[in-house]
Amino acid sequence: MKYDYAITFACYNSVHYTKTFVDSLIKVGTPLDRVVVVDNGSSDETRDYLLTLPLGGRIYNKSNQACGVAWNQGILHLQAEWSVVMNNDLIVSSQWIEHLIKTAIDKNLSVISPAMIEGELDYDFDAFASESSEKMKKVFRHHTQHAVCVCIHRSVFQEIGYFRANPKLLGFEDTIFFHDLEKSQFQSAINGSVWLHHFGSITQKDMKKKLGKSEKDVLMKVNDRHLLQQGWLERKIAKYKSKKRNEAWRKEELANYGMTLHGERVNHAFNWR
């Protein structure tokens, strides 16, 4: 079955990772005419590279507008039933988009994210993804998702709106959007039928470097309680519940499968989160 979808990602320098990501899309047969790239004012060879690609759209911002603005630009440039918002520091696996959308439709989900491994690519990802997709295809973490890669049905935008378009947020836009999603009737999940490899917040690291910050520094201090319209105690309770929920998922998945839907490569081994 063919699905109506569009893919968008923002980039800011780090052309090597953008090339690696696009190469992985080409390798698995993802059509580039369904991909919209929003460049947030790169100063390296990114724009020259993008001109060589048969993309569905190229949007060049004069300065860094952050993710919320860029994601909205990409989503609206190539409107589809399903919009996939992704990072550019990824590698995808075979039939990733088809499996994501099929699973979402079969399980009546409006938002879905794949499982992932983060860190160094020091293992055979293709073999790992093939084996793990079969092993973990029935595993779901319901009522959650992540912005590394998230597939969203257009009805969600029509009901709760798009991402917060404020360049000063610098990465908090997804938290606000997912908070609004949680208060809606839409169902979301992370599922193990699709895996990707995430090198790990490369764009944010590049932005921190340009701002003279270390990798351990916060990119931008935000009052999350204010932005989410939560009181101090309410925010504290929400964070506690989220932590306990993640711990329960990890414990159950490890007990049943010996792995989880979120792994990290540490010292050439998998650390399950």
250 belongs to a structural domain: no
Q: Which residue has the higher pLDDT, 257 or 202?
A: 257
116 belongs to a structural domain: yes
| Residue 219 pLDDT greater than 50, yes or no | no
210 belongs to a structural domain: yes
Structural domain containing residue 28:
5-223+259-272
Q: Could you give the C-alpha distances from 105 to 40, 102, 135, 157, 229, in angstroms and in order? A: 33, 5, 20, 17, 32
CA proximity to 139, closest of 218, 257, 269: 257
254 belongs to a structural domain: no
Indicate the pTM of the whole model. Answer: 0.90
| Model pLDDT for residues 168-205, shown as the tens digit of each residue | 766 678 988 999 999 999 999 999 999 999 998 655 55
234 belongs to a structural domain: no
232 belongs to a structural domain: no
| Model pLDDT for residues 45-59, shown as the tens digit of each residue | 999 999 999 999 999
Question: What's the domain count of the chain?
Answer: 1
25 belongs to a structural domain: yes
| Model pLDDT for residues 84-139, shown as the tens digit of each residue | 999 999 999 999 999 999 999 999 999 999 999 999 999 999 999 999 999 999 99
Say how far apart CA 65 and CA 10 lie, in whole Å: 10
Strand extents, DSSP E, the chain: 5-11, 35-39, 57-60, 82-86, 90-91, 111-118, 140-142, 149-153, 188-198, 262-266, 269-272
The residues, any chain, with a CB within 8 Å of residue 54's CB and separated by 6 or more, are 32, 33
DSSP character at residue 214: -
| Residue 15 pLDDT greater than 60, yes or no | yes
Say how far apart CA 269 and CA 205 lie, in whole Å: 24
| Residue 13 pLDDT greater than 70, yes or no | yes
Residue type (1 letter), 200: G
Per-residue model confidence (pLDDT) at position 208: 41
247 belongs to a structural domain: no
| Model pLDDT for residues 151-164, shown as the tens digit of each residue | 999 999 999 999 98
Per-residue model confidence (pLDDT) at position 172: 78
| CA angle 7–28–125, rounded 5-degree value | 105
Instruction: Read off the CATH number of the domain in which 215 is found.
Output: 3.90.550.10
**The total number of residues written for the chain in this structure:** 273
